[in-house]
A and B are shown apart, each in its own frame.
Chain A
């Protein structure tokens, strides 16, 4: 037989909250983990109804729940366990994973609850969700920027020629022996319209160029860890190993962490896809440094990329994936270049996977 003091020490050592109630809902045992979880001391709640620890809507019904169970023997939580909401002494609600067991004792029917605090887990999930939605937004914004810049550049040439032809023609018309006034007026109007088109392009360009990267000192190792974390979420089912070999957590780099994260997540995610059906499923992120640059390498154990594939890699809209526009790498490269760096793929080697290298200048200052 275990002594009572030993039992109490077990209860107080447990990481999870443990509560024992009788068949009236009265708290008999309330361990130390519960004190941290709910803010009440053991002396404050032992002897009280357990519904003290519940939000009022559930608290009102809890005695009925116990009676229903004792009458019907039909378990809603006993032996099953579920996610429930508790209430802290300060009124805030706490997500809890609750499992309940029961025991027949000399002093009657008792229920034993084991409670796991889900607050940290929930916060973590929320943080991941926010990070992911930030990345999605960034991807969209950058896709628009990229398209805007491409259109602006392509339209610039014919627009420049059009404008100069029109201005020259208008001047010639004016200089003629018998000026054709209606004709001159038409040409002047055409010049005004060409000018309007030019202003639209300039505004679009100014908008894109104003969005200079937000450079702040960022711990590169932490940034890489965060990226791996984000990608792992989508790869829980298939046993792909995502590894970072860079552990210099003091190393800081001036960069726009959201944008660089976007590039790395993109690269790591692609690598994860590439190794999915391989015998060895590994994605390794490593860092090399020289005086002027930092090279972040994303290596995979996939089938590699042949020359043909490499030649299309960075062009927009040529992706081979069923999902997506195939603009990920094109955008990633332009973000890298915006930081004064570049994004490169190592040449194909028989029997080796693909390696992408993100080059970033040390003390990287935005060039735009």
Chain B
């Protein structure tokens, strides 16, 4: 299962449609709160998290998900300048970051 947490409606929709067209099952969420309450990711899942989210920050969500038992693979997505990314992701440097604008290949390498 692939999870997408992305607040921009077009980007979220485009990513979801792309995975669907490859017959990969996926679920998309607009913010970290709804993801945490509705999704139950498992060890062989992948979660794409936009760093710039309303409410619960992307980096906090990543920390929470990474702390789960059987934590899934996490990939951060960001359109922010580099200094904001490094500021937001100080401790969890092992999380790969994909920067926007991106192509489908950039995401498919992780699934």
Q: Contact residues of A with B, CB < 8 Å?
A: 149, 152-153, 155-165, 167-168, 171-172, 195, 197-198, 201-202, 205, 208-209, 337-338, 340, 367-368
A–B Cβ pairs within 8 angstroms, 22 of them: A153-B79, A153-B80, A157-B8, A157-B100, A160-B11, A160-B14, A160-B100, A163-B101, A164-B11, A164-B14, A164-B102, A164-B104, A168-B17, A197-B101, A198-B101, A209-B82, A209-B83, A338-B83, A340-B87, A367-B83, A367-B87, A368-B86
Name the B residues within 8 Å of A168 (CB-CB).
14, 17-18, 21, 104
**Quick one: closest B residue to A199, CB to CB?**
B101
- Which residues of the other chain, B, contact A167 by a CB distance below 8 angstroms? 18, 103-104
Q: How large is the interface on B (under 10, 10 to 19, 20 to 34, 35 or more residues)?
A: 20 to 34
Q: Which residues of B contact A156 (CB under 8 A)?
A: 79, 100-101
Number of A-B contacts (CB under 8 A): 79
> In whole Å, how far is A354's beta carbon from the nearest beta carbon of chain B?
27
Chain B at the A interface: mostly helix, strand, loop or mixed?
helix
A165 to B13, CA, bound (A): 9
List the 9 closest A-B pairs by CB distance, nearest first.
A161-B10, A164-B14, A368-B83, A156-B79, A198-B101, A161-B14, A156-B100, A159-B101, A168-B18
B66 at the A interface (CB under 8 A)? no
Contacts of A164 in B (CB 8 A): 11, 14-15, 17-18, 102-104
Q: Which residues of A contact B82 (CB under 8 A)?
A: 205, 209, 368
Specify which chain A residues have a CB less than 8 angstroms from the CB of B80 in the assembled complex. Answer: 153
Cβ of A172 to closest chain B Cβ, rounded Å = 6
Q: Which A-chain residue is minimally distant from B86 (CB atoms)?
A: A367
With a 10 A CB-CB cut-off, give which of B15, B100, B104 has the most chain A CB atoms: B100
Complex contacts, A340 vs chain B, CB 8 Å: 87
Contacts of A158 in B (CB 8 A): 10
Contact with A along B25-38 (1 / 0, CB 8 A): 00000000000000
For B101, give its contact among A171, A201, A208, A368 (CB under 8 Å). A201
Question: Nearest chain B CB to A173's CB is how many angstroms away?
Answer: 11
Q: With contacts A156-B79, A163-B101 known, what are 14 further pairs, Cβ within 8 A?
A: A153-B81, A160-B14, A160-B100, A160-B101, A161-B10, A161-B14, A165-B14, A167-B103, A168-B21, A171-B21, A205-B82, A209-B82, A209-B83, A338-B83
Question: Whole-angstrom distance from the CB of B26 to the nearest CB of chain A?
Answer: 13
| Residues of B that sit less than 8 Å from A by CB | 8, 10-11, 13-15, 17-18, 21-22, 79-83, 86-87, 100-104
Tell me the bound Cα distance from A171 to B15 in angstroms: 14
Whether A160 pairs with B102 at a CB distance below 8 angstroms is: yes
The smallest beta-carbon distance between A215 and chain B, in angstroms, is 14
Chain B residue contacts of A338, Cβ below 8 A: 83
Which of A161, A202, A208 makes the CB contact (< 8 A) with B11? A161
| Distance, CA A205 to CA B86, complexed state (A) | 15
A165 cross-chain contacts in B, Cβ below 8 A: 14, 17
Cβ–Cβ < 8 Å partners of A149 in chain B = 81
Question: With A157-B8, A168-B18 given, is the CB distance from A163 to B103 under 8 Å?
Answer: yes
Q: How far is the CA of A152 from the CA of B101 in the complex (A)?
A: 9
| Contacting residues, chain A, for B79 (C-beta < 8 A) | 153, 156-157, 160
Q: Which one of A161, A171, A198 contacts B8 once the chains associate, using CB atoms below 8 Å?
A: A161
Please tell me if the beta carbons of A195 and B103 are within 8 angstroms of each other in the complex: yes
- Using Cβ atoms and an 8 Å threshold, which residues of chain B touch A202? 101
Contact residues in A for B10 (Cβ distance below 8 Å) = 157-158, 161
A171 CA to B8 CA in the complex, in Å? Answer: 23
How far apart are the CA atoms of A365 and B91 in the complex, in Å?
17
